[in-house]
Amino acid sequence: MRSELYIDGKWVKPIKGGTCIVTNPATEETIQTISAATAEDVDVAVKAARRAFDKDGWPKLSGAQRAKYLRAIAAGIRARQAEIARLEVLDNGKPFPEADWDIADAAGCFDFYAGLAEQLDNNTEETISLPDDRFTSKAVKEPIGVAGAIIPWNYPLLMAAWKVAPALAAGCTVVLKPAELTSLTALELAAVADEAGLPAGVLNIVTGSGSAAGQAIIDHRQVDKLAFTGSGPVGSKIMAAAARDIKRVSLELGGKSPFVVFDDADIEEAVEWIMFGIFWNQGQVCSATSRVLVHEAIYDRLLTRLIEATNKIKIGNGLEDGVLLGPLVSKRQYEQVTAAIEGARKAGATVACGGTRPEGFDKGYYLRPTVLTDVPLDSDAWIEEIFGPVVCVKAFKTEEEAIELANDSRFGLAAAVMSKDDERAERVASAFRAGIVWINCSQPTFTEAPWGGYKESGIGRELGRWGLENYLETKQITKYVTASPWGWYMR
Closest CA to 359 of 307, 328, 315: 315
Listed as own residue / partner, the contacts of 300-303 with beta carbons closer than 8 Å and 24 or more positions apart are 301/267, 302/261, 302/267, 302/270, 302/271, 303/352, 303/371, 303/373, 303/393
Task: Report the pLDDT value the prediction gives residue 289, as an integer from 0 to 100.
Answer: 98
Beta bridge partners of 480: 135
pLDDT tens figures, 392-444: 999 999 999 999 999 999 999 999 999 999 999 999 999 999 999 999 999 99
Q: 3-state DSSP call for residue 420?
A: coil
The SS3 call for residue 138 is strand
Q: What is the distance between the alpha carbons of residues 432 and 438, in angstroms, rounded to a whole number?
A: 10
Name the catalytic one among 118, 188, 252, 456.
252
| CA angle, 67 then 68 then 72, to 5° | 115
pLDDT at 359: 95
The residue among 284, 78, 61 whose CA lies nearest residue 189 is 78
What integer pLDDT is reported at residue 132 of this predicted model? 96
State residue 356 phi and psi, 5-degree precision. -135, 170
Q: CA separation (Å) from 196 to 68, 103, 189?
A: 9, 17, 10
Query: What are 314-333's pLDDT values in tens digits?
Result: 999 999 999 999 999 999 99
User: What was the pLDDT predicted at 247?
Assistant: 96
Which segments of the chain have a pLDDT < 50? none
* pLDDT at 123 (0 to 100): 83
The structure's pTM equals 0.96
Is there a catalytic annotation at residue 20?
no
372 membership: H or E segment, kind and range: strand 370-373
What is the pLDDT at residue 301?
A: 98
CA 13 to CA 35: how far, in whole Å? 7
Q: Tell me the pairing of strands 135-143 and 350-353.
A: unpaired
Residue 387 sits at the vertex; the CA angle it makes with 248 and 413, to the nearest 5 degrees, is 45
Residue in 206, 198, 253 with CA at minimum distance from that of residue 11: 206
The helix/strand/coil state of 432 is coil
25 with 364: CB under 8 angstroms? yes
Closest C-alpha among 111, 87, 85 to residue 100: 85
Catalytic-residue membership of 252: yes
